[in-house]
Amino acid sequence: MPVDSTLVGTVLFGVLTLGVYGVLPGVAGGVIATAIGVAATTSGLKGIRDGWRLSTIDAVPLREAVAADGLVRIQGTVRSPRSGDTLVSPIRGEECVAYEYNITRQVQGTGDPSIDAGIRCSPFIVADETREIYVDPTDESLSLDHEIDTVTGADLLERVDEARLDLEPSAHTDSGLFNSPIELVEGTLGVGERVHVVGEAHTAPERGAAGADVVMTPEEGHLIVANDEPESAALRTGARGLFLLVLGIAFSGIGLVTLAANLGSIVEILQVVGSV
């Protein structure tokens, strides 16, 4: 009895569809893991590069920075460009021009420990006895030393503005949250604090509102702003970069292997269907 070609085509299409859909989650997982790996690897290489620059570039007086050819390291005292144009850190409530913080709690099992986190910065003036330079950082430019404090849930509401915590209303009655140790991590670049900046200094087209005629900006990712000694900042930044690099290589490898295996399965399915 002859077989209906339309029926055969329908069956083959169904088999192909089921096979492809069966490996799509693997393909998606491979793409996601590879993307995460590439991003982590890129960040890791930047961290290692920044750590190297902090440890090897010598400091120069601010008046010599603009005449230097290429990257320089300057050090001086932080002030805001305009009176009152500052930030307030969310945990310690310090007047600053940059802060980074993370609030986590200890959890049992695989729960999400994160409560709140953030980073913010604004332009500032760095000055020594020779000159003033206007610095315009980005979040990626910061390498801040952090202070860590462990508190209980009840103390948390006294230390941090409750509006920042983004908690569900039920959390106030969740004894598991408020009886758990909570870790407060914060780094700030305060007004009047000493800062180290690595970057390229350029003469501004015209003197800005802050009165500085030399600027340092994060062009080509060259700006690093650290609030502790260069050796400590270099070690911290380099170690973090190395960790991200290893993590990125691992994720990229897993993602590429997963992607190759699942794409190979799709090719095999197509070959089987084509041979029928």
Per-10-residue mean pLDDT, the chain, length 276: 46 48 67 86 84 80 81 90 84 90 76 80 89 90 87 71 54 55 89 90 65 76 82 79 88 83 61 52
Rounded CA separation 256/21 (Å): 19
Instruction: Tell me the one-letter amino acid at 83.
Output: S
Rounded CA separation 102/116 (Å): 6
Question: Which pLDDT does position 170 carry in this prediction?
Answer: 46
211: left (phi over 0), alpha (psi -120 to 50) or beta: left
* Residue whose token pair is 């909570």: 182
Query: Is the separation of the CB atoms in 37 and 245 below 8 Å?
Result: no
Whether the model clears a pTM of 0.95, i.e. scores above it, the answer is no
Q: What angle do CA 9, 13, 15 make, to 5 degrees?
A: 120
Q: Of 62, 187, 75, which is closest to residue 133 (Cα–Cα)?
A: 62
SS3 category, 24: helix
Q: Of 150, 155, 143, 145, which is closest to residue 184 (Cα–Cα)?
A: 150
Question: Which pLDDT does position 186 carry in this prediction?
Answer: 92
* Residue whose token pair is 């979040």: 139
